[in-house]
Amino acid sequence: MLFLVANATSTAAKASRGTRFGGRSISVVATLGIPSSPSCNQNDSPTSAFGRRQHPVVVTSSSSLFSMTPSAVFMSTATEDEASKPMIHSTIESIRSYRKTIDNSLSVGFVPTMGALHEGHLSLVREARANNDVVVASIFVNPTQFGKGEDLDRYPRQLEKDSELLREVGVDHIFAPPSDLMYGRNHVTYVEPTGFGETNEGKSRPGFFRGVATVVTKLFNIVQPTNVYFGQKDAVQCVLIRRIVEDLDMDVNVKIMDTVRESDGLAMSSRNAYLTPEEREKAPVIYQSLCAARELYDARFARGMDEVGADDLREVVETVLETEPMIKNIQYVSIDDLETMKPLDKVGNDGCVVSLACVLGSVRLIDNIVLR
């Protein structure tokens, strides 16, 4: 059922902020001049208003219900399926207006993505859903982290499909801004993380970490989350996010979750969609090479040794990769400190991250494994 309320006065307006329905947080529940309908307030049960949950479905306007001039206001009493749809915010003003309605006692979990979602992304959302009152996901293909000749133009964009996947795992709000909104015509300010361009991944992708640091800082500033969720697959990026939060004194908790893999060990990635069937069949060799490094590390310590040479770990990874003819280029194999991503010569009890980038067929893939 759809209600149209025209020329509603401010004295007729009531709003309930941060109201919880069925384990989800609703940004705004309003009744504007609607006569004698069942009330919907913080003391109501999840199904007390019109017998079903009420939930706004899409928000793309930059206006806020709390600053409306007398005008037409639409309210829907949605079915259960409709009510579970996340709000989609296409403007910064829209998501900020919603964020201001959330009570400070409620936690906001945030999962930044570039879309083309897979189970790795969805596992992060499930973790956020289980541990926060409100869950926000962003879908934004960030142009500043793509270099010349990279796949910005062909990177998968599938907002409708991704929105449905996020609905299924309980996301409340999706922030999906256009590129020209995030980087306006006069945009000149970037976050430059010192030293990350000197990592092997940074050398392989000049400007990448500058782009990541900038967009993450902007997203955190816009969404103002309590907790943020990232996957370990992007090892250097995880260290960078923690560095940004600490160095810029951001009031947010960074949660790094384990890499999610296919049944054959291949790390889930949006770029796996570029692989041909034959390439996909050979791709597990990447994880197998990392497992070989783990076996060497564990074997050395099992024999009572207190350290392993980084060159030995690197060599065993490269040896396994070189057994697969479809690996066209091993860009790097790095043995780095867990906290700083600085290269190590020896690996002791503190462990390390073994990370790599290689080209399989025509597709650049990355992966890593933590040894400790």
Tokens of 10: 């401010």
Instruction: Provide CB contacts within 8 A for 19, sequence distance 6+.
Output: 25, 26, 29, 40, 41, 42
Asked whether the CA dihedral 318, 151, 262, 139 is positive or negative, the reply is: positive
Instruction: Provide CB contacts within 8 A for 325, sequence distance 6+.
Output: none
User: Would residue 118 show up in a list of annotated catalytic residues for this protein?
Assistant: no
The Cα-based distances of 38 to 43, 48, 77, 238, 250 in angstroms read: 12, 7, 12, 48, 42
Phi, psi (rounded to 5 degrees) for 366 = -125, 160
Is residue 249 within 8 A of residue 218, CB to CB? The reply is: no
Residue keyed to tokens 């906001």: 108
Q: What is the DSSP letter of 84?
A: T
Tokens of 3: 């209600």
CA distance 315 to 304: 21
| E-strand stretches of the chain | 2-5, 13-21, 24-32, 73-76, 87-89, 108-113, 134-139, 173-175, 227-231, 253-257, 308-309, 327-336, 346-347, 352-360, 363-371
Of the candidates 55, 89, 121, 173, the residue annotated as catalytic is 121
Reference 144, options 187, 110, 176; nearest CA is: 187
HSE-CB at 263 with a 13 A cutoff on CA atoms is 1
Is residue 142 within 8 A of residue 212, CB to CB? The reply is: yes
Asked whether the CA dihedral 55, 60, 66, 68 is positive or negative, the reply is: negative
Tokens of 197: 């361009």
CA angle (226 as vertex; 61, 170 as ends), nearest 5: 60
Is residue 146 within 8 A of residue 140, CB to CB? The reply is: no
Active site residues: 121
